[in-house]
Structure 1
Amino acid sequence: MAVSEAEAIIMEVLWRSSPRSAEDILAEVGPQQGWQEGTVKSLLNRLLKKKAVKAEREGRRYLYAPRLTREQYVSQESKGLLDRLFGGRVAPLVAHFSEQKKLSKKDIAELKKLLQELDDEQS
């Protein structure tokens, strides 16, 4: 399931705290995004159709909660990025960041540790 950038903003709100009403979501993200109630409700309807969220009626309003976990979303997005830009391979991604000087000493230490752990698992 592909989640757009705007839909991901709604999902982030729901991952932090749910269930939430459309009005709650609007109050949290509307001002900084410049969104009106109709925009939030349209995004929620798109997410409902994709089965990324579920809705439960409470009185005269609906409360929304995520069906798609943040972990599932991150996994989908990272796999898509790797597939589109790097042929599904991690090494060219890391090489790209190292060429662009985007890796800190801490990043490099964490990568070394991860590689060592992966190597130990395969031994």
Structure 2
Amino acid sequence: MKPIPHISEAESVVMEALWSHSPRSAEEVAIAIGDERAWQESTIKTLLNRLLRKNAVKVLKDGRRYLYSAAITREQWLHSESKGFLDRLFDGRVAPLVAHFSRHRKLSKADLEELKRLIGELDDGK
């Protein structure tokens, strides 16, 4: 599997627009992002070009315009980002992450129930 490139926060906004619908022109991406960010189309084009250089996006010429689509899935990106986060901050372990959140941010009853359900599924899988 090819390595997943690092995608900045701004680039991830563009990727979300492409993951929700592709292919899109730069203008269509700008419209899709709309009120979320007040970016000019030139900013969108700059971000698309960065993503192209990183091989996160692919492009197809359609007459006088370019149509962009994601070259990686959201799931691939999410896996890569979360693995990197765990590796950097928690030595690759999930338990210290959950402990950190339980100490510094109150987990809701729904969060606790979901964690119990997930642990139960993991136990059943052994």
TM-score (norm 1): 0.93
Give the whole-Å Cα distance in 2 for the aligned partners of 1:99 and 1:42. Answer: 40
**2:104 aligned partner:** 100
Task: Return closer, same or farther for 1:111/1:31 CA change in 2, 3 Å cut-off.
Answer: closer
1:22 to 23, 26, 33: 26
Q: Give percent identity, aligned residues only.
A: 60
State how 1:1-123 maps to structure 2 within 5 Å: 1-29=5-33, 31-122=35-126
Give the whole-Å Cα distance in 1 for the aligned partners of 2:80 and 2:45. Answer: 24
Structure 2: gaps of 5 or more residues: none
Give the whole-Å Cα distance in 1 for the aligned partners of 2:71 and 2:60. Answer: 12
Give the whole-Å Cα distance in 2 for the aligned partners of 1:40 and 1:120. Answer: 46
Kindly report the root-mean-square deviation, in angstroms, between the aligned alpha carbons of the 2 structures: 1.2
SS of 1:117's equivalent in the other structure is helix
SS of 2:39's equivalent in the other structure is coil
Give the whole-Å Cα distance in 1 for the aligned partners of 2:96 and 2:105. Answer: 14
Deviation at 1:30, TM superposition (A): 5.0
Contact persistence 1:30–1:36 (CA under 8 A)? no
Task: Return closer, same or farther for 1:40/1:98 CA change in 2, 3 Å cut-off.
Answer: same
Runs of 4 or more, structure 1, over 4 Å off, are none
Structure 1: gaps of 5 or more residues: none
Give the whole-Å Cα distance in 1 for the aligned partners of 2:43 and 2:76. Answer: 25
Task: Return closer, same or farther for 1:36/1:119 CA change in 2, 3 Å cut-off.
Answer: same
Task: Return closer, same or farther for 1:15/1:102 CA change in 2, 3 Å cut-off.
Answer: farther
TM-score (norm 2): 0.91
Matched residue count: 122
